[in-house]
Chains A and B, each alone.
Chain A
Amino acid sequence: MSDTPEEPQERRDFLARAAFWTTAGALGFAALGVARMPKPGVLPGQSAAVKIGPPGEYPVSAEPVRVPGQNLFVLHDADGFAAVAAVCTHLGCIVSVSPDGFECPCHGSRFARDGHVVRGPAPSPLVWFELSLAPDGQIVVDTKKPVPVGTKFQLS
C-alpha cells in the first residue's frame, strides 16, 4: 500500500499489454464467429410459390376473393388476374375486405381496391405478386417476386 507510483518497466509492460490484447482479440473474434450462428443460413417455411387452383375458380368479379388457406387476395377483371398480399405493410396483420378496399384490424390502416394506402400508418401499398400457370393448369403465385401495383396477368 504505497502511494509512490510504480516505476515503468517498459519491456515487461509491453509484453503484458501484448498478452492482454492478444487474449482480448482472440475472444473478440471468437465471439464474432459465434454471433454468425443465430442468423439462419436457410429460412425455414413453406415454399414461396403457391398453387391456388385453376383460373376457372376465380370468375370475373368486382370484389377481391380471399384464397382459402393463404394470406392472398385474387383480383380478376377484364384486364386479367392479379394476386395481392393480405398482409398489412405496417406490422403484418391480415387485412380484410371493406366496402371500398381493404382495412387492417391492428392499427387502422385503410387501403384502396388496388392496395394503395388511403389512411393510417401503413408505409407502402399492399404487395402484388407475379403469377404464372403451372403445367397442371393451376395458378402459381410467387410470393418472393413482387410486381408493380397494377400489373395484371393474362392466364388462360
Chain B
Amino acid sequence: MTQPIETQEREAGPPVPADGTPPSSAKRDSFLGNLRRLWHNLRAAIFRTGKPTSDRARAQKVFGNFLLHVHSTRVHRHSLRFTTTLGLGIAALASFILATVTGVLLMIYYTPSTELAYQSVKDIHYVVPTGRFIRNLHRWSAHIMVIAVILHAVRVFLTASYKKPREFNWLIGLGLLVVTLGLSFTGYLLPWDQLAYWAATIGSNIASSPRELTDALGITSWFDPGGFFRQLLLGADEVGQSALTRFYLLHIMVLPLLLCWLIGVHFWRIRKDGGLARPSDEQLRAEGKLPPAEENNNGNGATFPRGPLKTYGLMAVVRGRTPVVGRGPENTVPAWPRAFRAEMAVGMIVVAVCLVLAFFSDAPLKEQANSLVPENPAKAPWYFLGIQELVSYSAFMGGVFLPGLVVLGLALIPFLDREKEPGGVWFSGARGRREFLASLAFGTVVVVLLEVITIRFGWLRSWFPEIPQLWIILVNPGTVLAVLFAGWSQLTLRRTGSTRMAAIALFTTILVGFVILTYVATVHRGPNWDFYWSKSQWPVH
C-alpha cells in the first residue's frame, strides 16, 4: 500500500507559535513569563496548531480531531445536496442530544417512586425555575426525534440506500428506530399520571398478549412467553413500583447507552461503506447535478498543491486501482466548512423548532395514577396509536405479531432485494415513482375501505357471536391488510419482474397503513374507542 509520509507540516498559525517560543530569552523560564503564556500554551497543548487557514490544514484538523474525525475530510458534492438526505439523520441526532441534555436536567428533581413521582413532576411543572420549559423541551425533542428517525428510514428506503454494501447499516438503523420507540414508551410512564399508568398497563398487556394465542390453543400452562415478557417488564403482576423502577432504569441508562453505541456504529459504517449512497459521477453530470468535468478540477490546485509537501514510498504491492496522487478526489469539497455548516444549520433548525413548540405547548399532566379508574379513552403516544388501532381488533396480532412481522420484513429488505444499484436516486427513477404512487393509491383505498367496514358493520364477532377466538386472531382487519399488502407486492413483482419495485410496493403500502391508522386512532377515536368525526362530539361523562 502506498502511504503518504508526512514531511514539513507547518501551517501559518497564531502569532505565538505552537512550541511557545518566548519573545525574549531572558524571560524564558521565569515564573511570571510562564504564567503570562499559560493561555497560549494551554491552547497549543489542546489544539497543537492554531486556527487552520487553508483547506489542507482544515482537512488535517478534521482528520486529527477526536470529535471531527467521524467525518471524512472531503465530502462528495452530491452528498451535500439538500434533497439527498433532507438532513433527517442529523435532525434525529440533534433532537437526541437535546433530549439528553434536558433529560439530565429533569433528573435533578424527578423521583422514581410511585408516591413521589407525580408530585415531583408537578413540582417541575409549577415550582422549579424554568422547569416547565425544560420538561416541554424534553417532550418535544422526543417527538421530533421519533418523527426524524421514521422519516430518515423512509428516505433511506426510497433512495435505495440500503443496498449492498450498506445492508448492515440498514439493520443498525432499524435497531435505532426500535430503541428510539422504546425510549419514548419508557418515558411515557415516568410522570405516573393517569395517561402514563394506563398506557403502561396496555403496553405491558400487549407484551403478555401471546397468551391470547396460547390460551386459544390451550397450551398456556406449559408454554407462556406472554407471562414471561410481562414479568420481565413489570417485575410484578401489575404496574407498580417495580415497573416504575424498571422503566426508569431503561429510560435513563440502558436504552440511552444502547442508542449511543448504535449511533457510533451507524456513523462509523457510513464512512466505511463509502459515504452516502450516490449514482455515478457520469450519471450525475448527465443530469446536471455536477459541474462539467473541466470546471470541476478548479480549486483543486489550491487544495492539493503540487510540491514537496509529501513524499511517497512504495510499501507493498497490492491488488486494486492505483491511488490518485497529486490530485484531489473528483467532485468532492472539503468537509470543513461545507458539511459542517450544513450540519450546524440542521441542528439549529431542530433546536429552534423545539424551542418554539416548547414555548407555546405544554406537556400534558393528568390526575395522579389511579388503578381503579381507567382513562377514557386511554391513548398511547401518537406513534403507537396505529398499533393501538390494530390492537382493537386483536391484541396478539395487532400488538406483537404484525409489528414483529413489519420489523422482520424491513430487516430482510436489503437481503431479498439484491438488484445492483448505486442508490441515492429517489424511487430509483421514474418507474419506481409510478410504482410508489400506484401503491400509495392502493394502500389508501384498501385501508380506508377496511376501516369503514369495521366502523360501520363491525367484524366477525358482530356477525357470528359464537365464533371461536382463534378465528378472530387469524382473520381480523390487521391480518387482512397484511395479506393484501403482501399480495400487492407479489403482483408488482410479477408485473415488473423487479424485486426493487416489489419492495417499493410493500414498503409504501405498509407506510400508508401506518399513517392512516395512526390518523384515525389519533383524531377519530373517542371514549370506548368509538368513532367520532371530531372531539366535540364526545359524550360528556
Contact = CB atoms under 8 A, between A and B. Distances in A.
A44 B236 contact: yes
A124 B215 contact: yes
A106 B372 contact: no
Contact of B235 (A1, A40, A71): A40
A108 B235 contact: no
Contacts of B85: none
A92 B231 contact: no
A135 interface: no
Interface in B491-541: 527-530
A12 interface: no
Interface of B: 1, 198, 201-202, 204-206, 209, 212, 215-216, 228, 231-232, 235-238, 240-242, 246, 315-316, 318-319, 371-378, 388, 391-395, 458, 461-462, 465, 469, 472-473, 527-530
Contacts of B374: 93-94, 105-106
Contacts of A106: 198, 202, 374, 376-378, 529
A103 B392 CA distance: 14
A43 interface: yes
- Chain A: interface size category: 20 to 34
Contacts of B204: 92
Contact of A120 (B198, B206, B232, B461): B461
Given A91-B395, A121-B394, A123-B216, A104 B528 contact: yes
Interface string A111-136: 00000011111011000000000000
Contact of B392 (A70, A121, A123): A121
A90 interface: yes
Nearest to B318: A1
A44 B215 contact: no
A45 B465 CA distance: 37
A46 to B, nearest CB: 9
Given A71-B371, A93-B202, A106-B529, A45 B238 contact: yes
Contacts of B371: 71
Contacts of B201: 91-93
19 contacts: A3-B319, A40-B236, A40-B242, A43-B236, A45-B237, A91-B205, A93-B198, A104-B528, A105-B376, A105-B528, A106-B377, A106-B529, A107-B529, A119-B461, A120-B392, A120-B461, A123-B469, A123-B472, A123-B473
Contact of B202 (A39, A70, A92, A123): A92
B425 to A, nearest CB: 37
A39 B231 contact: yes
Contacts of A124: 215, 469
Interface string A31-61: 0000000111001110000000000000000
B391 A107 contact: yes
B447 to A, nearest CB: 18
B205 A121 contact: no
A100 to B, nearest CB: 13
A105 B527 CA distance: 6
Given A39-B228, A121-B395, 9 more contacts: A1-B318, A38-B246, A39-B232, A40-B231, A40-B236, A44-B240, A92-B202, A106-B377, A121-B392
Contacts of B198: 93, 106
A145 to B, nearest CB: 14
A1 B391 CA distance: 58
A69 interface: yes
B50 to A, nearest CB: 37
B462 A94 contact: no
B221 to A, nearest CB: 13
Given A69-B372, A90-B395, A106-B198, A43 B237 contact: yes
A31 to B, nearest CB: 15
A105 B538 CA distance: 13
Contact of A105 (B377, B391, B469): B377
Contact of A123 (B206, B212, B237, B242): B212
A143 B216 CA distance: 22
B462 A119 contact: yes
Query: Which of A1, A93, A124 counts the most B-chain CB atoms under 10 A from its CB?
Result: A93
Contacts of A43: 231, 235-237
A120 B528 CA distance: 10
Given A71-B371, A94-B374, A124-B469, A108 B528 contact: yes
Nearest to A107: B392
A124 B216 CA distance: 9
Contacts of B231: 39-40, 43
A105 B215 CA distance: 23
